[in-house]
């Protein structure tokens, strides 16, 4: 399976997301269009769909005896849940990790939306609060977790599974924390994802993992262009003198 890197402007604010407080570990970056990607065409870490008329859907994936195991409202199909390593995404450090939330709400809201919330599950709730990245050692020992803020409104970008995505990444402090943890625990760390969405109208919602590539801000492009222009000017003067 190949993964197309998600290109983002550094520190971009998403119009489709309410701002997360500074204490959030996973923070919203920017919406992206996900053309032609169904559940089986990407590394889907968790597939959530509430039961019956429930408006809160909560679940995720854990490692049990080293095996990825879904719980709560998480889908159990072969393409609906995965654990993953950085090697699976062809990335090498936490700053390159993106979690893409894909909403497929059928409701009449404009736009349809869900709200990140604490998990109501009687067991394993800590692995499924808001949007949570769970980190395990290569041996399957739980190490730490990183979660998004609660009460964050996520607005659907486009309809249908695989039609849109809201990108989350670790903030700078949590990138450093995870990097230190990985350095202290040699081997390929294993990651799983859980989530809880309130105000849902049937779903399904999916969260996939993908590589993140930062794109320079317009100011950076301007400096680059100015630098190239200056180099060209110097080169022309040298030619004219010679």
pLDDT value for 115: 95
Cα dihedral 111/133/178/93 (nearest 10): -70
Dihedral of CA 139/145/146/152: which sign? positive
pLDDT value for 110: 74
Instruction: Evaluate if residue 38 carries a pLDDT over 90.
Output: no
pLDDT digits (tens, 9 = 90+) for 195-236: 999 999 887 899 999 998 654 444 443 444 455 455 454 455
Mean pLDDT to the nearest integer, 24-28 = 84
* C-beta pairs of 3-6 under 8 Å, 24+ apart in sequence: 3/42, 3/43, 3/89, 3/90, 3/210, 3/211, 4/210, 5/210, 5/211, 5/212, 5/213, 6/32, 6/98, 6/100, 6/165, 6/167, 6/210, 6/211, 6/212, 6/213
Helix (H) or strand (E) holding 154: strand 153-155
Identify the band that residue 161 occupies on the pLDDT scale cut at 50, 70 and 90.
Answer: low
Cα 76 from chain centroid? 20
pLDDT value for 120: 96
Between 59 and 52, name the one with better pLDDT: 59
pLDDT value for 20: 40
Instruction: Evaluate if residue 239 carries a pLDDT over 70.
Output: no
């Amino acid at each position: 399976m190949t993964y197309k890197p998600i290109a983002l402007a550094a520190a971009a604010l998403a119009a489709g997301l309410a701002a997360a407080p500074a204490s959030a570990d996973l923070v919203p970056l920017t919406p992206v269009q996900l053309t032609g990607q169904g559940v089986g065409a990407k590394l889907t870490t968790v597939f959530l769909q509430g039961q019956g008329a429930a408006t809160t859907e909560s679940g995720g994936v854990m490692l049990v005896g080293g095996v990825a195991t879904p719980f709560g409202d998480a889908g159990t199909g072969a393409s609906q849940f995965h654990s993953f390593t950085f090697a699976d995404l062809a990335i090498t450090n936490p700053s390159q990790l993106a979690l893409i939330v894909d909403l497929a709400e059928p409701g009449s809201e404009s736009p349809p939306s869900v709200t990140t919330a604490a998990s109501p599950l009687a067991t394993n709730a800590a692995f499924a609060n808001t949007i949570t990245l769970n980190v395990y050692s290569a041996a399957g020992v739980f190490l730490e977790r990183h979660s998004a803020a609660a009460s964050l409104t996520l607005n659907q970008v486009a309809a249908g599974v695989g039609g849109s995505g809201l990108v989350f990444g670790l903030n700078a402090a949590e990138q450093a924390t995870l990097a230190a943890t990985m350095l202290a625990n040699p081997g390929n760390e294993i990651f799983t994802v859980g989530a809880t969405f309130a105000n849902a109208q049937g779903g399904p919602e999916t969260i996939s993992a993908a590589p993140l590539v930062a794109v320079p801000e317009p100011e950076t492009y301007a400096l680059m262009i100015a630098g190239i222009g200056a180099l060209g000017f110097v080169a022309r003067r040298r030619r004219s003198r010679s």
